[in-house]
């Protein structure tokens, strides 16, 4: 319910994970398009799926969503957001208000092979102190959002490749 001009209170998506995940990739909060589709990175201009496609040499965009998630789990990647709920109009991270954090420690406890946490963009990285407390390396990746136009796709890909390679997510 809107309060004093604030956006509607929205709930995020459930985490995507398997017990053998080695890297937890955290966004901030799903876009309006992602929430409507009930899919992570559902906005067609978001570069998340193209980045993973380039890293893994497979066009994930050609697969249906459930098949994409199968590939994600099989590669040792877990996906979630730092916020479980928030008030927001539109999709910009700068519009997030009254954010409720996800139970990141609870998820990490279910991932015995977890090696590291990577934040997809600046808003997610605001919780780096929380993820650092998990006792694993923490990375800030350039955002896959279309709003992050200052980084070219190739530059984003190089940064993502470095982290994925370091934790064994580039091999089948």
Which phi-psi region, left, alpha or beta, contains residue 168 (left: φ > 0; alpha: ψ -120 to 50)? left
Q: Which of 46, 102, 120, 148 is catalytic?
A: 46
Q: Give CA separation, 74 vs 33, 56, 69, 102, 109, in Å.
A: 26, 11, 8, 23, 19
* Whether residue 102 lies in the annotated active site: no
* Residue 34 · residue 16 · CB < 8 Å: no
Q: Residues with catalytic annotation?
A: 46
């Amino acid at each position: 319910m809107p309060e004093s001009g604030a956006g509607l209170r929205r709930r995020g998506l459930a985490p995507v994970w398997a017990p053998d995940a080695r890297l937890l990739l955290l966004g901030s909060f799903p876009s309006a398009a992602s929430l409507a589709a009930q899919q992570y990175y559902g906005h067609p201009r978001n570069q998340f799926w193209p980045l993973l496609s380039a890293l893994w040499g497979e066009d994930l965009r050609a697969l249906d969503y459930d098949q994409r998630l199968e590939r994600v789990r099989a590669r040792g990647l877990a996906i979630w957001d730092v916020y479980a709920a928030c008030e927001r109009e539109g999709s910009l991270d700068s519009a997030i208000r009254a954010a409720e954090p996800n139970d990141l420690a609870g998820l990490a406890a279910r991932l015995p092979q977890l090696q590291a946490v990577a934040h997809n963009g600046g808003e997610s990285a605001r919780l780096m102190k929380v993820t650092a407390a998990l006792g694993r390396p923490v990375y800030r990746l350039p955002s896959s959002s279309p709003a992050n136009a200052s980084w070219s796709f190739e530059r984003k890909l190089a940064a993502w490749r470095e982290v994925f390679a370091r934790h064994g997510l580039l091999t089948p």
